[in-house]
Structure 1
């Protein structure tokens, strides 16, 4: 795959990102990746990790901690952070 054939990382959805990482990983088991391919795979991995972390943070922001009577006992810091969103 030439440099011109690499897909734009910004345009890849999550599934395509994983498929492209897996494709390059399988290829690396058959032959040594070129410098460009290895760098591209690393960029894909970094984007995947970034997206994963952002998604996890987003989910964690929506969590509300309640005690057994149902009162919100989330930390004040968490409540203030949720107000910003």
Structure 2
């Protein structure tokens, strides 16, 4: 299980315990979810990064790619991992 799957599993245990208990095989579920999230982050990173500009130097390219990766990761984690708490949880 990758770090995204582990993060999702911990979040569900803490904030979505009813949904977590309903999972038939949490290990498989979060392993698959982690892989899906990693792939989605990679895909979104490429889209956000776009193509470099002519004359773009190494440091500019590195900054563009890193910024795109962080943005993609934040978006995907909010959408797929950091789900709202179950009703009735405080």
TM-score (norm 2): 0.35
Larger Rg belongs to: 1
* TM-score normalised by L of structure 1: 0.37
